[in-house]
A and B are shown apart, each in its own frame.
Chain A
Amino acid sequence: MTNLLKCCFPTTDIKYNQCQLTGLVIMRVLIGWHFLYEGIAKLLNPYWSSAAYLLESKWIFSGLATTIVANPTLLTLVDNINMWGLTLVGLALTIGLAERPAAYTGMVLVLLYYLFMPPFVGYEYSVPTEGSYIVVNKNLIEAAALFVVACFPSGGIIGIDKFFLSKKR
């Protein structure tokens, strides 16, 4: 239990200077904002489904994607995990609450998006993209950024996590 609390509301021995702290908070909040809107936009659209995305899947997860799409119950579950996962992770990162689990959850989500549709050489997708990618795309970069957020938490200094740390003290 203590370990879980430590994980959720980590005290950090890392001392940041003003510039580092500012950078970390900005990164956390911007990623949080992005997640929050991705989630809410899907929640607000009653016709949104991950089916179209999943059907384009290539590489190791294409079989799993097909299984999900072929099963309406599973697809609904996956749709809900996406919509609510993105929204809650986004909100948590923005306000700095349970920052580390939120960052790791978000990282897993975007890594899955990456792995379901990796921009590897030879893989072509008909879903339009806004940029040009080879091996590395924005999903992968966002996953890496979330790893940094998880390793260097700032919610205990600028964020709601601070109050839980205070109570513990």
Chain B
Amino acid sequence: MSVSEKENVTQAKLTNDMNPERREVLKGLATIPVVGVFFYNLWKKLRIDEIKRKNLLAELITTKDAPAVASSALSGDHLRIGIIGYGGRGQHLVRGAGFATPEWTARASKNAQNNKLDKGFETFMQQNDLNVSLTGVCDLFDVRAEMGLAASQNDIRPGGKPMEGAKKYRHHSELLADENIDAVIIGTPDHWHSRIAIDAARAGKHVYCEKGLTRTFDEAIDLYDAVKETGISFQLGHQNRQVEANEKARQIVQQGLLGPINLVEVTTNRNSPWGAWVWDIHPAANEKNLDWDTFQEPSPKKIKFGDEALARFFRWRCWFDYGTGLSGDLFSHDFDAMNQILDLGIPKYVSASGGIYFFKDGRDVPDVFHATLEYPEKNLTLLYSATLSSNQSRGNLIMGHDATMQLGGESNRGSVAGFIVTADAESTRYRDKLQEGIINPQYPIYSYTPGSKQIDGITSATTRYFANKGLVYTYREGKRVDPTHLHVKDWLDSIRNGTQPSCNIEVALHEAVACHMSTESYLKGRRIKWDANRRKLI
């Protein structure tokens, strides 16, 4: 072997000794490039998502945040309120003001212990102290009046011990005559609404009145005039006004995301005796503790006290003598929600139909009911369809040329759900984005889940699934707020500030006239026209 050959071998040995080590280092780092590839792909995905989001939302959604769910504590004068009609809904309204019966707080507290997910008690206790006292209770059924008195003194409430307890009144006129009361909540059946509310307005008391506004069209006009003349603060009990989903939906519609809207469809879907107003008749009710004559005083038909009277007292929603059936009871919710979102106003024509097809229990209000409300000046039809014998949840649809908004619906088992917006495959506005594949008409371009404050254009099948469940609303924030509480607070705020609340007498009249036109049409079997100049139904 020559010298040069020996040198070559030494060199080769050296190289071989180095190579294994280098190779080992490389082996150790072999999968690091995978991380690089991963993050490259992640970056690419985030960039595409961002472009999509910008394309879809940047120019459309000006406010990224949803309205706040919770609100600050109240300041200002202490207000003394009276409740007239302390039945199921009246009790809920008074809880919204911060007063619950001892039975309710005990039951709710026990429910919370038995079921950790039951937040009813926690929600109540976390309500803002509205700086009010419950000083008057009026109910024609003594048992309930006594419950109201107990509620006014129950110190298990937000804000602790009440400042003063309530006094019991047999008749609403006695309660309204008391100077110790600044404002009243009316939770009576509809046939008493207008008389009590007008009397209250004339007595200078502010009014929170449960929906539907009145039992008849004429009463609605009279009440409207009385509120206008006296200048009281008037709130109609559509708590949907405080639901953030509706506010967000309104923003989206106003920004034109849906394009021209020609058809709106709202529904009621219930399938239980409870859902059809077949409620329990209180076992303790009798002629002595229940003032039947006063109850039926404003109703067209008078009957003697007995079993039928008891049924009518506790299930009054089943008769036109006291209410307006599906129209004023459930359609009114959805109508007001749509009025809140779309500024509908009063329709020009209404046709309605239906019948008593399932609950043939002596009621005279229909259990299947449909109404078509025409707004020729707005190029829009609002369609309402209700059944009390199927739970098939149809939700509510605002159908635009460019996109459709699907909302959970207010009257579906009382749940307040979110909504999704899905582009139309034939949309003019989104034509380019549809062609480029930025928008997929199968998936929502916008979804909103209550309480999550999530505003996002990137959605999937799972997002669509969860959009209507509202899980985040309840559990993520750890705090849930009852819209009824916010609605009562909104009213009290307006009293203190000298303004009108969100569901004021103007929009209340829209609701009342739209619902009464529907009822009239059903009862008369023909189309009803609204004469705006003469304020008459033709």
Task: Please determine whether B31 and A47 come into contact, CB atoms closer than 8 angstroms.
Answer: no
Closest to B466 in A: A52
Name the residue on B nearest A28 (C-beta): B31
**Could you mark each residue 142-167 of chain A with 1 if its beta carbon is under 8 Å from any beta carbon of chain B, else 0?**
00000000000000011111110010
Which of B38, B454, B472, B476 lies in contact with A36, CB distance below 8 A?
Answer: B38
Chain A residues 108-164 with CB under 8 Å of chain B are 126-128, 157-163
Tell me, yes or no, whether B28 is within 8 Å of chain A by CB. Answer: yes
Contacting pair A52 B469 (CB below 8 A): yes
In the bound assembly, the distance between CA atoms of A70 and B480 in angstroms comes to 12
Indicate with 1 or 0, residue by residue over B443-486, a CB within 8 angstroms of chain A CB atoms: 00000010011100000011001100101100110100000000
- A25 to B31, Cβ gap below 8 A? yes
Q: Residue B6 at the A interface, CB < 8 A?
A: no
Q: Does B117 contact A (CB under 8 A)?
A: yes
- A27 in contact (CB, < 8 A): no
CB-based contact B478/A72 at 8 Å: yes
| Selected contact of A75 from candidates B28, B35, B466, B475, CB within 8 Å | B475
Given A37-B42, A70-B117, A128-B462 in contact, is the A158-B31 Cβ separation under 8 Å?
yes
Question: Is residue A8 contacting chain B, with contact meaning CB distance below 8 A?
Answer: no
Contact B31 A69 (CB under 8 A): no
Complex contact A95–B35 (CB within 8 A): yes
Residue from A47, A66, A95, A157 within 8 A of B452 (CB atoms): A47
Pair A162/B28 contact, Cβ less than 8 Å: yes
- 1/0 contact string of B40-73 vs chain A (CB within 8 Å): 0010001000000000000000000000000000
Q: Which residues of chain B are near A166, meaning CB under 8 Å?
A: 24
Task: Pick the contact of A49: B28, B30, B116, B476 (CB < 8 A).
Answer: B476
Inter-chain contact B452/A52, CB cutoff 8 Å: no
Q: For residue A127, which residues in chain B have a CB less than 8 angstroms away from its CB?
A: 462, 465
Whether A55 pairs with B38 at a CB distance below 8 angstroms is no
Contact A95 B472 (CB under 8 A): no
**A20 within 8 Å of B by Cβ?**
no
User: How far, in angstroms, from A52 to B462 measured CA to CA in the complex?
Assistant: 11
List of A residues within 8 angstroms of B454 by Cβ: 47
**Residues B1-48 near A (CB distance < 8 A):** 24, 27-32, 34-35, 38, 42, 46
- The CA of A96 and the CA of B466, in the complex, are separated in Å by 37
Residue from B24, B31, B32, B452 whose CB has the most chain A CB atoms within 10 Å: B31
CB distance from B473 to the nearest CB of A (A): 11
Which residues of the other chain, A, contact B32 by a CB distance below 8 angstroms? Answer: 95
* Chain A: minimal CB distance from B463 (Å): 10
A163 surroundings in chain B (CB, below 8 A): 28
Interface residues of B in 229-264 (CB under 8 A from A): none
- When C-beta atoms are compared, the residue in chain B nearest to A71 turns out to be B116
- Residues in B with CB closer than 8 Å to A160 are 28-29
The residue from B42, B472, B475, B476 contacting A40, defined by CB atoms under 8 A apart: B42
| Residues in B neighbouring A32, C-beta threshold 8 A | 34
Q: Are A94 and B35 in contact (CB under 8 A)?
A: yes
> Given that A37-B38, A40-B42, A70-B116 are known contacts, is A128 also in contact with B31, CB under 8 Å in the complex?
no
Given the known inter-chain contacts A51-B471, A72-B478, please indicate yes or no for A158 contacting B35, CB distance below 8 A. no
CB-nearest residue of chain A to B479: A72
| Interface of chain B residues 113 through 137 with chain A (CB within 8 A) | 116-117
Interface string of A92-104 (1 = CB under 8 A from B): 0011100000000
Q: Which positions 23-54 of chain A face chain B at CB distance < 8 Å?
A: 25, 29, 32-33, 36-37, 40, 44, 47, 49, 51-52
Give Cα distance in the complex from A36 to B42, angstroms: 11
A12 interfacial by beta-carbon distance below 8 Å: no
Structural contact, B27 and A94, CB atoms closer than 8 A: no
* Cross-chain contact of B31 among A29, A37, A51 (Cβ < 8 A): A29
Q: Smallest Cβ distance from A86 to chain B, in angstroms?
A: 14
Chain B residues with CB under 8 A of A33: 34, 38
The answer to whether A91 has its CB under 8 Å from any CB of chain B is yes
Instruction: Provide the bound-state CA to CA distance between A25 and B29, in Å.
Output: 12
A91 to B34, CA, bound (A): 10
Q: Are B472 and A49 in contact (CB under 8 A)?
A: yes
Q: Are A158 and B27 CB-contacts (below 8 A) given A29-B34, A55-B471? A: yes
A157 neighbours in B (Cβ, 8 Å): 27
Please name the residue on chain A nearest to B115 by beta carbon: A66
Give the distance to chain A from B274, nearest Cβ to Cβ, in Å: 24
Instruction: Tell me the nearest residue of chain A to B112, going by C-beta.
Output: A70
Chain A interfacial positions (CB closer than 8 Å to B): 25, 29, 32-33, 36-37, 40, 44, 47, 49, 51-52, 55, 66-67, 69-72, 75, 91, 94-96, 126-128, 157-163, 166
Known contacts A70-B475, A94-B35; can you find 6 more A-B pairs with CB under 8 A?
A25-B31, A40-B42, A47-B476, A51-B476, A55-B117, A158-B27
4 residue pairs, one from A and one from B, having the closest CB atoms: A70-B116, A72-B478, A162-B28, A47-B454
15 sampled A-B residue pairs with Cβ under 8 A: A25-B30, A32-B34, A47-B452, A47-B472, A51-B476, A66-B117, A69-B117, A75-B476, A94-B31, A95-B31, A95-B32, A96-B28, A158-B27, A159-B31, A166-B24
